[in-house]
């Protein structure tokens, strides 16, 4: 019985860790013929600055590095609380756009990423994020 309990506990721990860390790598959304991939340096996010990365690819899978990319990082409105929102500056490094997300408190946050390429309308994707 003791062996079963230890094995069961080990399996539960591995599953809990893998589920908790599953977002850390990245999450993707497709919009306007582009795939927008948002990555966090660590997940869930923590209070303070968090390293974030946005990679954009076209239908052929080629990295898009000629776009104007903007981000709005915000906590959805809650009654009785002042809005929390920022528009961090994104910097292109290699084939990804980097920025810092400033998390003011624990809870659910959103990152709205907009991509505009010459001659096209904006492609926008919104990602849900958790901070602990």
User: Domain limits at 34?
Assistant: 24-131
> What pLDDT, in 10s, does the model give residues 2-37?
555 555 544 444 444 433 444 445 899 999 999 999
Q: Is residue 7 part of a domain?
A: no
d(CA 94, CA 117): 18
Give percent of the chain above pLDDT 90.
Answer: 77
pLDDT value of position 26: 84
The pTM of this model reads 0.80
**DSSP for 77-96?**
P-TTS--EEE-PPPEEETTE
Q: Is residue 18 part of a domain?
A: no
What total number of domains does the chain contain?
Answer: 1
Q: What average pLDDT does this structure show over 33-54?
A: 97
Residues whose CB is less than 8 angstroms from the CB of residue 98 and which lie 6 or more positions away in sequence, other chains included: 51, 52, 53, 54, 90, 91, 92
């Amino acid at each position: 019985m003791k062996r079963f309990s230890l094995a069961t506990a080990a399996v539960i721990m591995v599953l809990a860790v893998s589920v908790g860390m599953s977002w850390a790598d990245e999450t993707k959304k497709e919009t306007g013929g582009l795939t927008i991939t948002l990555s966090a340096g660590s997940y869930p996010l923590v209070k303070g600055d968090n390293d974030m990365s946005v990679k954009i690819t076209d239908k052929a899978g080629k990295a898009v590095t000629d776009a104007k990319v903007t981000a709005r990082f915000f906590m959805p409105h809650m009654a009785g609380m002042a809005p929390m929102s920022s528009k961090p500056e994104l910097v292109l490094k290699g084939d990804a756009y980097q920025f810092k997300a400033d998390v003011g408190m624990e809870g659910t946050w959103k990152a709205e990423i907009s991509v505009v390429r010459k001659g096209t309308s904006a492609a926008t994707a919104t990602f849900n994020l958790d901070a602990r």
